[in-house]
Structure 1
Amino acid sequence: MCNDANGVGGHVGDTEASPLLGNATGQTRTKGCSFGGSVLNLMNAIMGSGILGLAYAMANTGIAGFCILLLIVFCLAAYSIHLLLTLCDQTGINSYEELGGRALKKPGKVLVGITILIQNIGAMSSYLFILKSELPAAIRSVISHNHLNVWYEDGRILLILVALCVVLPLALLPKIEFLSFSSSLSFIFMLYFAVVVIVKKWSIPCPLPHNVTLLEDAFQISNSSDMECQPKAIIISSKSAYAIPTLAFSFLCHTAILPIYCELDRPTKKRMQNVTNIGLSLSFVIYLVSALFGYLTFYGQVESELLLSYDAYIPRDITMMTVRVAILLAVLLTVPLIHFPARKALTMLIFGERPFSWPLHICLTVAILGVVLLLAIFVPDIKNVFGLVGSTTSTCLLCIFPGIFHLKISNKPLRSPVSFGAVFLLVLGLLVGTFSFCVIVVTGAQGS
């Protein structure tokens, strides 16, 4: 795990919005976050509640189609992070915002900061919205009572309590390395989810059980069973378009990459690249396993949120109750990690670089969490709102910004393979972002 020789006092003389690497700033550096702790923090930044929708994405793209898309996104994420780390090594800059400033002057720095702030506030709000919706159901599945209007069935009350008792204390921690313990818990919860999905594959029969009352219904179900239980390699339909945004942003962790790099013990590009490779690879395996076995359990009848499929066929199953609680805890523990880059970006936008100050640190933490709480509590449906924002900000952080930064900062010739890859990343990001934006706008208009 992470060890800090100076504890909180290690921030004296540092700036809230500046990189922490001694080799980049000339400062004497204390022992930072361990290699394993950095991998766990990175995986916590990558994986969230989106894992619940991957089986549905596979059901609409087919096994081979899903694997190809997931592998493409994995490679794009790995390459874009490689570009960022290379630029950090060349320039001595270890801040996403500062890279934007080097590439596009002050407008670039402000643009990157705003993008990070919007993206991370949107992500935190969506996670807390899930907690508001799912926590009461999770508690009801565990506790049986005969009373109406019990306080713990009000998602808003539960959300406020959880935010004050869990999210706020973790978000107030001054360094991202202190979150490695909560990140390890989040990883265990996600791993537990994947293991249960594998085990339950052999607990639910295929074809899925139906409430059959007529003989001809039973005959029809019998004839369709072969069709229901046959996995498909490639599926192309109108619903396939919805799988692309889900997969495109499943490896988005770029706002946390450089803060994690800044606090890595003995930070070098090669060492951080190894952290990235291991974190992305383990996330890829968990994504693929959970999606595959979730799909092979329900086939074409998988719900957009995988846990809903289990609720329909094995309601009040003790194991699935614990999985629901584990996923909620994993989502909850991800919020403080996403909060860190958002606070760092807000500090840079308002105050620039200034010495660390506990009063400022606390005020900004409370302000951001307050905004996120208000959005999660009072916005009735944040899916389309933040889907619209996410389709633009996520694409910028994943593809567009790394491509632009390399082309503007690096001295590599345009015809070199790495520059060609940066151009490809930039063009692909523009295409995917535009496509996702149009899909969300059209579906939102049709829904209204």
Structure 2
Amino acid sequence: MEVQAGESPSFLNKPTVNPARARLGFCGAVFIMLKSALGAGLLNFPWAFSRAGGVHAALTVEIFSLIFLISGLVILGYSSSISGQSTYQAVVGHLCGPAIGKLCELCFVFNVFMICVAFLVILADQLKKLSLSMYELITGSAGNAMPHHWYTDQRFTLFLVCLFVILPLSVPKDIWIQKYTSALGTVAATYLTVAILVRYYTRTIPEGLPSPSYKTGMGFWASIFSVIPTICFGFQCHECSVAIYSSLENKKLSNWVMISLLSMFICFIIYTLTGVYGYLTFGRNVAADVLMSYSGHDVLMIIARLLFGVSIITIYPIALLLGRLVIQDPLLRHRQIQSSETCIRVALTAVWIIITLFIALFVPDISKVISIIGGISAFFIFVFPGLCLIFAMQSQSISGRLRWILTAWGMVTILCGTFIFGQSIFFAIMQVFHKL
């Protein structure tokens, strides 16, 4: 939808096409945004605060990143309104051309794939700690190591969960169970934040033990850059933002701006409280998965592990579905055999789960995965929205000064995203080979 010559464009009140699909209200959109953003990255935030060099440095980077995070959401909403497309990949392909659209699809599949790996790594951590907690409760031998058997290994338990729970949930075309578990991620995130605050104010440090240390010893800029991938991973909801926008009843961009601001502000509060108090509780010794730093017989944290574990089990199939559709649709078009859809879907699902499980079993901790995912997420938060804005400015009739300002902002976001991708991959490699 272009603004005709002689009209005065209202950038924040531009409606979109296809109003028949509008079914989502303001509160519903905010809730779905929260559900998409509040996830596995929450467990990594206290560790990120430690890597950043403390609370002040981490908060500075987080607030600065929010500008680009919100900007990316607004740009994607505007891009959806002028293109009439309802998925992230379709918007990029429509505005930026088929070549960039294909690149977006490849990045999308890889990003979702690595997110599934992160889910399984976190699930393995929680299974390990829950197994130890159950052993201590049954035997009453708190503090003793659990005897190692093949059937007590969390890797075997993770395999069973993938085979008997995740695979059956992932095979169907439509993940209908999502409507029953849509609030679980937000409940798990909120409970974890409250539990960390409660445990910080009720903790006791045994006599003779030193207080937690809060210095990391890393250089200032290295510390600042090392926390960016975690922030990108934690706040990312941009992949589903186009679908959310296209389902809104009120598609005015001013309404979408308010939805983006409110949802990101709530995420900021939850992530910040978790990061600050998790870091203050354990200092530089906090684990990459903060729940692994707490005692195995802490009832508050046992509940948190259960909530997060169940939440991940129900979210994994949804992430798999998003990636599978991108791969499956071209295969079906190429073969042109509708009856083979079930076989292709089952095969892709099984292969996806097997490969992500294999990788997750050999990943030492979640921080290694998040460093990679954070870099890939920079494409969806910075690079592709920046490209969409630049191409949109070439096709829309907007006043000259505003067009140049928005084009310049698109270039800035692309440069920032490219830099974040490069440095996050660099730090991921350094972590693997030099154990920073």
Provide TM-score, normalisation by structure 1. 0.77
Q: State the match for 1:446 in structure 2.
A: 434
Distance 1:107 1:343 in 2: 20
Give how far 1:123 is off: 0.5
Aligned to 1:209: 206
Q: 2:378 — aligned with what? A: 395
Which of 240, 246, 249 aligns to 1:256? It is: 240
Q: Does 1:335 align with 2:316?
A: yes
Matched residues in 2 for 1:358 and 1:25: separation?
31
| Distance in 1 (alpha carbons) for counterparts of 2:362 and 2:88 | 33
Q: 2:302 is matched with which residue?
A: 321
CA contact (8 A) 1:128 1:376 kept: yes
Task: Output the amino acid matched with 1:118.
Answer: F
Contact 2:92 2:388 in 1 (8 A): yes
CA distance in structure 2 between the partners assigned to 1:37 and 1:161 by the alignment: 35
1:355 and 1:69 map into 2 onto residues whose CA distance is: 49
- Counterparts of 1:174-213 in structure 2, within 5 Å, are 179-205=178-204, 208-209=205-206
User: In the TM superposition, what is the alpha-carbon distance from 1:124 to its structure 2 partner?
Assistant: 0.6
Cα distance in 2 for partners of 1:290, 1:93 equals 36
Q: Is the 8 A contact 1:395 1:432 kept in 2?
A: yes
> Residue 115 of structure 2 corresponds to which residue in structure 1?
123
Tell me, in whole angstroms, the C-alpha distance in 1 between the residues paired with 2:72 and 2:96: 18
* More deviation, 384-393/287-296: 384-393
Q: Secondary structure at the match of 2:202?
A: coil
Shift of 1:111: 0.9
* Cα separation, 2, equivalents of 1:88 and 1:354: 30
Q: Are residues 1:380 and 2:362 paired?
A: yes
Secondary structure at the counterpart of residue 416 of structure 1: helix
Match of 1:371 in 2: 352
Q: Does 1:51 align with 2:35?
A: no
1:174–1:272 distance in 2 versus 1, CA, 3 Å: farther
Q: Deviations over 1:328-355 (max 9, x none)?
A: 2233333233234313322444346999
Q: Could you tell me how far apart the structure 2 residues matched to 1:40 and 1:85 are?
A: 17
Aligned to 1:19: none
Counterpart in the other structure of 1:17: none
* Residue correspondence of structure 1 range 403-418 to structure 2 within 5 A: 403-410=386-393, 411=396, 412=398, 413=400, 416-418=404-406
Contact (CA 8 Å) 2:44, 2:290: kept in 1 or not?
Answer: yes
Indicate the residue corresponding to 2:278 in structure 1.
294
Asked whether the 8 Å contact 1:186–1:329 carries over to 2, the reply is no
The residue matched to 1:153 in structure 2 has which SS? coil
1:40 to 17, 31, 44: 31
Q: Distance in 2 between matches of 1:180 and 1:276?
A: 22
Tell me by how many angstroms 1:268 deviates: 5.5
Residues 144-159 of structure 1 correspond to what in structure 2 (within 5 A)?
144=137, 153-159=152-158
| 1:436 and 2:424 correspond | yes
Partner of 1:72: 64
Match of 1:9 in 2: none
Residues 386, 323 of structure 1: CA spacing in aligned structure 2 closer, same or farther, 3 A cutoff? closer
Q: Identity of paired residues, percent?
A: 18
Q: CA deviation at 1:425?
A: 0.8
Deviation at 1:168, TM superposition (A): 4.4
Contact 2:72 2:382 in 1 (8 A): yes
Q: Is the Cα contact below 8 Å between 1:33 and 1:264 reproduced in 2?
A: yes
Tell me how far 1:444 sits from its aligned partner. Answer: 2.2
Paired residue type of 2:108: I
Aligned residue for 2:326?
Answer: 345
Taking a change above 3 Å as real, the CA distance of residues 238 and 423 of structure 1, as seen in their structure-2 partners, is closer
Aligned to 1:4: none
The residue identity in structure 2 corresponding to 1:293 is Y
Q: Is the 8 A contact 2:171 2:345 kept in 1?
A: no
Return closer, same or farther for 1:431/1:334 CA change in 2, 3 Å cut-off.
same
Equivalent residue, structure 1, for 2:287: 303
Q: What TM-score comes out, normalization by structure 2 length?
A: 0.79
1:290-341 deviation line (CA, Å, top 9, x unaligned): 1122223233443333223323xxx412222112222222333332332343
In structure 1, C-alpha distance between the alignment counterparts of 2:368 and 2:343, rounded to whole Å: 28
The equivalent of 1:12 in structure 2 is none
Cα deviations by residue, 1:206-261 (Å, 9 ceiling, x for unpaired): xx43656xxxxxxxx5xxx6xx58899x9937555432321233211222222333
Q: 1:355 to 1:441 in 2, by over 3 A?
A: same
Pair 273,363 (structure 1): closer, same or farther in 2 beyond 3 Å: farther
Mapped contact 2:43–2:289 kept (Cα < 8 A): yes
Return the match for 2:99 from 101, 107, 123.
107
Q: Tell me if the contact between 1:190 and 1:330 (Cα under 8 Å) persists in the aligned partners.
A: no
**Cα distance 1:177–1:65, how it changes in 2: closer, same or farther (>3 A)?**
farther
Aligned to 1:277, what secondary structure does the other structure show?
helix
Quote the Cα distance in structure 2 between the aligned partners of 1:385 and 1:57: 12
Q: For residues 264-283 of structure 1, what are the structure 2 equivalents within 5 Å?
A: 264=248, 269-283=253-267
Aligned to 1:215: none
- Return closer, same or farther for 1:263/1:160 CA change in 2, 3 Å cut-off: farther
Aligned length: 405
Q: Distance in 2 between matches of 1:45 and 1:361?
A: 28
Give 2:418's aligned amino acid.
Answer: L
- The residue matched to 1:202 in structure 2 has which SS? helix
Root mean square deviation, CA, Å: 3.7
Amino acid at match of 2:279: Y
What SS is found at the alignment partner of 1:396?
Answer: helix
Q: Distance in 2 between matches of 1:267 and 1:366?
A: 39
Give 1:179 shift: 2.4
More off after superposition, 62-71 vs 239-248: 239-248
The answer for unaligned runs of 5 or more in structure 2 is 1-15, 140-145
Deviation at 1:164, TM superposition (A): 4.8
